C-alpha cells in the first residue's frame, strides 16, 4: 500500500452511515497523517476511535475555512502529511473544502483524492433513473420563494436532477415540486443511505407525497431526491413552428396570452415564448 507523501493534502471520503464502507487506503492515510482537518472534530473522533486511530484533529468548517488556508499551507510546506474529511461522505460535495483545495493547488501543493462513499453516487446507482447525464444541485434554498424559483429552472431539464434535503424541509420541498413541476413528475427519494432504515421511495411527486403523509417515519433522516428529466423531444429550442404559432396568435391576442397559449401547444417555457413574442412584435 502506498505510503502518504509529505507536504500533501489528502481528501479522504468517509462512511455516510455503515462504518464498513471505509476503505483500507482511507484507514492507512488517516493513520499516517500528521494532522486531520475535520468539519466536526467530535464526529471524526468517533470514527477514529472506532478504527483505533489516534489522530491530531483540527477543525475546518464553513465558518473558519478561509482563515485556515494560510496555516494549512504552511504545515504542508513544512512537509506535513494532511488529511481533509467532512462529517460523512466525500469532502467538497455540499461540504466544506473548496476554498482550501483551490488555494492549495494555486500554491502548487499536492492535493490527492482518496475516493469512497458519496451519498449522491450511492443513491443514483440504485435509483433506476438515467445516469448517463445528470446534474447535482446540492441543497435547495431554505426560503420557499427562492426554492420555487430554483425549481422553475428544471421544469424543462432533460437530465436527472439530484438534490440533498433534510428531515425538516423534505415535505416543503415536495409540496413545492408538486406546485412547480406538477404532480405527475417522476422522482426517487433515497433516505438514510447505508443505515439501518435505508429506504427508496419512487413514483410521481403526488405518489411520494401521499406515502410520506401516510407514514410520518419516512420523513425522518437525510435524503437524496432524484428528479427524472423530461423527454428530450419536449425540450427542443425555439424553432420555426413555435414562431409560426406566435405569429398566428399575436394579431388577435396580447403578448402575454399568446405566450401562454403557445406554451400549452408546444410544451415550451412561457418565458422563452414571451421573449420571442416581444421580439416578433418589435419587428413588425
- Domain extents in the chain: 8-117, 120-233, 236-283
Residue with cell 406546485: 179
pTM of the model: 0.79
- The C-alpha atoms of residue 96 and residue 101 are separated, in whole angstroms, by 10
- The C-alpha atoms of residue 245 and residue 218 are separated, in whole angstroms, by 46
**Helix 41-51 vs helix 24-32: angle between axes, to the nearest 10 degrees?**
110
Give the per-residue pLDDT at 163.
98
Residue with cell 399568446: 258
- The C-alpha atoms of residue 238 and residue 241 are separated, in whole angstroms, by 8
The domain defined by 8-117 carries CATH number 3.30.70.100: no
pLDDT 10s digits, 176-210: 999 999 999 999 999 999 999 999 999 999 999 99
For the domain 120-233, what is the CATH superfamily, name and number? Tetrapyrrole methylase, C-terminal domain (3.30.950.10)
- The C-alpha atoms of residue 244 and residue 249 are separated, in whole angstroms, by 9
Give the per-residue pLDDT at 235.
46
Q: Which set of grid coordinates corresponds to residue 89?
A: 461522505
Neighbouring residues of 130: CB distance < 8 A, sequence distance ≥ 6? 159, 160, 228, 229
Residue ranges in the chain whose pLDDT is less than 70 = 1-3, 233-241, 267, 284
Amino acid at each position: 500500500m502506498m505510503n502518504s507523501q509529505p507536504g500533501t493534502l489528502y481528501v479522504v471520503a468517509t462512511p455516510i452511515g455503515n462504518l464498513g464502507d471505509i476503505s483500507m487506503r482511507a484507514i492507512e492515510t488517516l493513520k499516517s497523517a500528521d494532522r486531520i482537518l475535520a468539519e466536526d472534530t467530535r464526529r471524526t473522533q468517533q470514527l477514529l476511535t472506532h478504527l483505533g486511530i489516534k489522530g491530531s484533529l483540527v477543525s475546518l468548517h464553513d465558518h473558519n475555512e478561509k482563515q485556515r488556508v494560510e496555516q494549512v499551507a504552511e504545515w504542508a510546506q513544512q512537509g506535513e502529511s494532511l488529511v481533509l474529511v467532512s462529517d460523512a461522505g466525500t469532502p467538497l460535495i455540499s461540504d466544506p473544502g473548496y476554498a482550501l483545495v483551490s488555494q492549495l493547488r494555486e500554491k502548487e501543493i499536492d492535493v490527492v483524492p482518496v475516493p469512497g462513499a458519496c451519498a449522491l453516487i450511492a443513491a443514483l446507482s440504485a435509483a433506476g433513473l438515467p445516469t448517463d447525464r445528470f446534474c447535482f444541485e446540492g441543497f435547495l434554498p431554505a426560503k420557499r420563494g427562492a426554492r420555487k424559483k430554483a425549481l422553475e429552472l428544471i421544469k424543462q431539464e432533460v437530465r436527472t436532477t439530484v438534490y440533498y434535503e433534510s428531515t425538516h424541509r423534505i415535505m416543503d420541498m415536495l409540496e413545492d415540486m408538486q406546485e412547480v413541476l406538477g404532480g405527475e413528475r417522476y422522482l426517487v427519494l433515497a433516505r438514510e443511505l447505508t443505515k439501518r432504515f435505508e429506504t427508496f421511495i419512487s413514483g410521481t411527486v403526488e405518489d411520494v407525497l401521499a406515502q410520506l403523509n401516510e407514514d410520518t417515519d419516512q420523513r425522518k433522516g437525510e435524503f437524496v431526491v432524484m428528479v427524472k428529466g423530461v423527454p428530450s423531444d419536449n425540450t427542443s429550442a425555439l424553432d420555426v413552428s413555435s414562431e409560426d404559432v406566435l405569429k398566428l396568435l399575436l394579431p388577435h391576442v396580447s403578448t402575454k396570452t399568446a405566450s401562454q397559449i403557445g406554451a400549452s401547444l408546444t410544451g415550451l417555457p412561457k418565458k422563452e415564448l414571451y421573449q420571442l413574442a416581444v421580439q416578433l412584435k418589435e419587428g413588425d
